[in-house]
Amino acid sequence: MSGAARQPPAYWFDGSAPPWPARALSGVYAGAVAARAALYRKGLLRSRHPGRPVLVVGNLIAGGSGKTPLTIALVERLRAEGLQPGVASRGYGRTQAGVARWVDAATDPTLGGDEPVLIARRTGVPVRVDADRVAAATALVEAGCDIVVCDDGLQHYRLARDLEIEVIDGRRRYGNRNPLPAGPMREPPERGERCDFRVVNLGTDVAVGEGAHDAGHDVPGHAQDGAGFGEWPMRLSSRDAMALRGSRHVPLSAFAGQRVHAVAGIGDPERFFAMLRGLGMAVVPHAFPDHHRYTAADLSFGSELPVLMTEKDAVKCAALAADGLYSVPIRAQLPEAFWVALLDRLHETTKGPRG
């Protein structure tokens, strides 16, 4: 069994009414979330800190919003500043979910999780997967990391944190704003107001190349391009595709005007398909559940068209690699003012972690 998550119900985002059983269960879920948060506020449940700064990246809705590209960008920038970051993750969708393990570029994604393996391959920093984020963070600190980036840990209150970043899907936002399962919300929308930074994933602007945005623009407090007051815009860029067999790089522009199969097993597959269409490709879309485990049959489409897939999907398809399969790496771009503000806040963490 794959353990993969299904695509979210249409009523989360299309404006249709949720079925009454989902609405009834939402009340139970919301009550449990509120009670748990109150126990932590009152100190009846205690948070623990690993002794080095902890930066948590997360979202308020179930499903993807762009956390992984941001996590990679954070790690790369922190390392450029002379820090030694490590990444803590639950490793959603992996087998042996109760077993903590180190993840590196060679780890089987079924054991380490697709996103942790992708992060390890892209950054080379220590990555620890563990359902217990406190244990993962502690292991990273003991391994020599001087800052812990927690991927998808906003609701894991046992891990005390110094900074929180909420990632918002700029296209879907909070959907119908209902709690699970009637809507996508893990926590109430107001929870985001307590985060130190709110980053809005605006997707890939195919008309804008890397470095085209002036660092003096795109500051929070100015609503533009889908980022509202107090929100930082994040754009995703992609220039090349990489062949899964042989690691040959091909400019994405080479596929313009062609029909291609597009494969995406992510939280919002349409974002990937739209990016390829914006680059002039005639896309034959193939959406799979988030964290899907691929077989050769999944990628057999009965034609010789090129197959382009997200980098997250590609890490799980190495053993299935054949001619014509390509990974499309994505990079997150944020305004320089965001990095300045983030680093300033990190310098203040000696004032004490948030529980």
Residue pLDDT, tens place only, 132-183: 999 999 999 999 999 999 998 889 999 999 999 999 998 889 999 999 999 9
Q: Do residues 149 and 206 share a domain?
A: yes
Q: Do residues 280 and 145 share a domain?
A: no
**For 267, which DSSP code?**
S
Element of type H or E holding 128: strand 127-129
Tens of pLDDT along 244-271? 887 788 999 999 999 999 998 887 888 8
Q: What is the pTM of this model?
A: 0.86
Binding-site residues sit at 61-68
> Cis omega (within 30 of 0) on the bond before 184?
no
Q: Do residues 184 and 171 share a domain?
A: yes
Q: Do residues 73 and 177 share a domain?
A: yes
Does 204 reside within a domain? yes
Does 2 reside within a domain? no
Does 9 reside within a domain? no
Number of structural domains, the chain?
2
CB proximity list for 317: less than 8 A, separation 6 or greater: 244, 294, 299, 309, 325
Q: Report helix, strand or coil for 300.
A: coil
Tens of pLDDT along 48-60? 999 999 999 999 9
DSSP bridge partners of 260? 283
Q: Do residues 210 and 254 share a domain?
A: no
Residue 122 belongs to what domain range?
A: 20-218+334-351
Residue for token pair 């903590």: 100
CATH number of the domain where residue 33 is located = 3.40.50
Q: Do residues 169 and 248 share a domain?
A: no
Binding-site residues for ATP sit at 61-68
Does 228 reside within a domain? no
Does 6 reside within a domain? no
Q: Do residues 142 and 271 share a domain?
A: no
State how far the Cα of 267 lies from the Cα of 5, in Å rounded to an integer. 9
* Identity at 13, one-letter amino acid code: F
Q: Do residues 275 and 177 share a domain?
A: no
215 pLDDT above the threshold of 80: no
